[in-house]
Amino acid sequence: MITLLLNIRINDHEKLNLFRKTFRELSSCFEECFFKIRGKLSNECVSYIKKEFKGSRINSFQHLPEDDWAATTLKMLKFVKTRSIYLYFEDHKLISNKSHLKKVMIEFEENKLDYLCYSFFKANRLNANNLLPLNPIRGTHIDFYELNKKTIDLVGKISKKYYTFSLLSICSVDYLKQLLIEENKRYKLYHRWLTGLIYTFFCYPKNRLFIFKVNQYLSFLNFRLCLYPVNSPFNLEKLWFEFVFKKVSYKIGILKKELFANFDDDNGALEESLVKRGIYPFDSKVKEISRLPSKSFKTVIKAGQKIDLTYYSQIDRISVPPILKVNLQKGAVEIKYLKSKIFIFEGESHLFYSNLKPQLVSKRDSVIIISVFDQCFLG
């Protein structure tokens, strides 16, 4: 059995809606749930968890402080009785099915694995196709290999940007506890100007290597330099060369098929995110375009002509999905948009999310101004 563990921040209604959808989809796969919800909408989330979670054990840690993610999560782990935990984050959606997720968790436990990244399948730098030099064990849903001092350098050669710990993980309590103890020094320093200065002199991933080396010396003083604010979970993530061994070997799992995907972040792999796949936003009605710059053009089309109005932004991380405005100066057109047909007549205009694949069919000879709104047009 694996415990569902949440330590997340929800500050806006978009995140709240994502939380409600993604939590509901997977909560029935777990018997135990431990949660700490931070942010302006934490009360709404807590109420939803208590209403939606049907497992046998639910534990609230709302009384714990919000200023130090590692310290708070470490305190939560002290009460976990299962061997492993699933770290939940609201912006990753189950795109496979619950049966697949349950089988993955069963196989994880049967093989006593220590770590498995459950999302960013396409962006994962180490996958089933390049594991062979590590002499992996091939499973039904998971392949796994032994991570130790002999294999760590080989991991880095196969995949220079591979993370031996990502937050989007199923992991053993011991594995996570080791990382948290290493991170949870008595004194922690984060300052955005200092981080900015380091990024100026060292590009990724050398900036992480620099901070890792500095922290090796600072650890003797019970001090830690942080890349991110202390209340952020991202300080815990580890590139392969940042991993500190506390035991001889660890079993690291690799998914064979995709389970989850992020809603807005490609993480370096084209069409990794739900936005790029035309799955998000879940609500197809466009809410605003005021924050987005645009590019427009006029086109003349004949009756019966069809135009594919699909447009995917190439930005890695998209805060607002690209939007399309169809302004009809003359004629009449029909837009097929998801399961709807929208008719636009002379003098009318309509907004669409361009990644949801709107298809235009001209009913008469028409003159149209098409505007595309996207963050990439800034500057």
93 and 183 both lie in a single domain? yes
Q: 332: domain range?
A: 294-377
Q: For the segment 64-93, what is each residue's pLDDT rounded down to a tens digit?
A: 999 999 999 999 999 999 999 999 999 999
Kindly state the tokens that stand for 166: 């990502």
CB-CB neighbours of 370 under 10 Å: 19
pTM for this entry:
0.85
CATH number at residue 334: 2.60.120.10
Instruction: Please answer whether residues 350 and 268 qualify as being in contact, where contact means their C-beta atoms are separated by less than 8 angstroms.
Output: no
Convert the pLDDT of each residue in 243-300 to its tens digit.
Answer: 988 888 999 999 999 999 888 776 666 667 788 777 777 777 887 776 788 999 999 9
Same domain? 337 vs 192: no
C-alpha Rg value of the chain to the nearest Å:
24
- Domain contains 316: yes
- Tally the C-alpha atoms within 13 A of residue 1's C-alpha that lie toward its C-beta: 12
User: Is residue 267 assigned to a domain?
Assistant: no
Q: Are 341 and 229 in a shared domain?
A: no
Same domain, 99 and 161: yes
Q: For the segment 29-53, what is each residue's pLDDT rounded down to a tens digit? A: 999 999 999 999 999 999 999 999 9
Q: Is residue 275 part of a domain?
A: no
User: At CA 43, angle to CA 78 and CA 289, rounded to 5?
Assistant: 120
Q: Is 55 found in the same domain as 138?
A: yes
Using CA atoms, how far residue 249 sits from 105, 147, 170, in Å, is 21, 6, 17
